[in-house]
Amino acid sequence: MKSRLSGAEAQPQAGGLVVIKQLKLETFNLDGKPEIIVTAPECVYDTFNHVANSPGHLQLQTGDGKFHVEGDGFLWRQNDSFLTISNHVHTVIENTMK
């Protein structure tokens, strides 16, 4: 499994769309460890094109918790693991000394 999309509530819509509340999106590396975890209060998921989007807030963090991103309005392309945050992007990188 490469990614998992889950939520507290899902409302199917016409055209293969699903409105998901309390979205949680996780991607995993080949070892099965989580790469990123994305959370959002709500989004619309297109089951045909495997794309999720929302005008609302989004938070993301890497599996090790060292890289956090948040912003408003997003588009997630599941096929190539590409995320666009449209507004007010704020990244925090915890500095790790090697």
Partner 1 sequence: MKDRLARNFCLIGLLALASGRTLLAQTDTNAVVEKATNAAAVVFLPAATNANVVLPPKPRPPTQIKADRGDFDWELRQATYHGRVQVDDPEMKLASEWLMADVPQAGERVNHIVAETNVVIDFVDGKGQTNHATGAKAVYVYEVKGGTTNETITLSGNPQIDNPDGTLTGDVIVWDRVNNHLSATNPRMVFRQKLNGPTAGTNMPPATNPPAADTTFPPGKLDLIPEPHAAPRNF
Contact between 36 and partner 1 per CB under 8 A: yes
Q: Which residues contact 2 (CB under 8 A, 6 or more apart)?
A: 27, 28, 81
Nearer to partner 1, 14 or 33 (CB): 33
Work out how close the CB of 32 gets to partner 1 at its nearest, in angstroms, rounded to a whole number: 13
Q: Which of 6, 22, 49, 81 binds partner 1 (CB under 8 A)?
A: 81
Q: Which residues contact 65 (CB under 8 A, 6 or more apart)?
A: 94
Contact between 42 and partner 1 per CB under 8 A: no
